[in-house]
Structure 1
C-alpha cells in the first residue's frame, strides 16, 4: 500500500473557499478516479512564518503502478483545477509514502 501525500499552505484570504472546495469537490474527484481507496485530511499543527494554514491530504492507493497511472491519466487536470482557483494563494508539495506496517 502507498500513500500519495499532498501538503498545502493556503493563505488566510482564501482559506474558507479552499477548504470547502477540497472537501466538497477536489477530494471526491480524486476518489472518483478509482485510483485511491480513501483520503484523510489533516491540519498540520505548525505556525508558518509565511502565514496561512497548512494541511496534509493523504490518499491511499494499492500500488506504485496505480499511482503512476494517476500521474499520467489524472494528475495534470486535477492540478490545473486547483491552480485555476488558487494559484497565487497556495503553495503545495507532494510526497509518496510506502506503508510498511500498521500497529
Structure 2
C-alpha cells in the first residue's frame, strides 16, 4: 500500500470554502481516477489539514501523477490561487498491524 499525503495550511477566511471544495469536489475527483482505494481528510487542532490517499501500488500512484495530477492541481489552484499552501509526501507501507477487539 502506498500513501500519497498532502498537508495544507489554510488562511482562516478560506477554511469554510476549502473544506467544502475538498469534501464535495477535489477528493471525489481524485478517487474517480481509479488510482486510489480510499482517502482520509483530517484537521489538526492547529488548523492544518492532512489528506491521505491510499493507492494499491506505486504504479497506481505513478499513473495518477502522470495522467491526472496536472489537471486536478490546476483546478485546485483556480479555486484557491492564494491562501492555501500545500506539501506532498509519499509513504510506502512496510508492515501494518491491527487490534482484534
Do they fold alike, i.e. is TM over 0.5? yes
Q: CA deviation at 1:44?
A: 2.5
Matched residue count: 97
Aligned partner of 1:57 among 47, 51, 56: 51
CA distance in 2, matches of 1:2, 1:67: 8
Aligned to 1:4: 4
CA distance in 2, matches of 1:87, 1:96: 24
The Cα RMSD (Å) is 0.9
How far apart are residue 100 of structure 1 and its match? 1.6
**Which ranges of 4 or more aligned residues in structure 1 deviate by more than 6 Å?**
none
CA distance in 2, matches of 1:59, 1:95: 11
TM-score, normalised relative to structure 1: 0.90
Alignment of 1:28-43 (within 5 A): 28-43=28-43
Gaps of at least 5 residues in structure 1 are 48-52
User: Are 1:71 and 2:81 an aligned pair?
Assistant: no
For structure 2, list consecutive stretches of 5 or more residues without a partner in the other structure.
none
| Aligned equivalents of 1:68, 1:29: Cα separation in 2 | 17
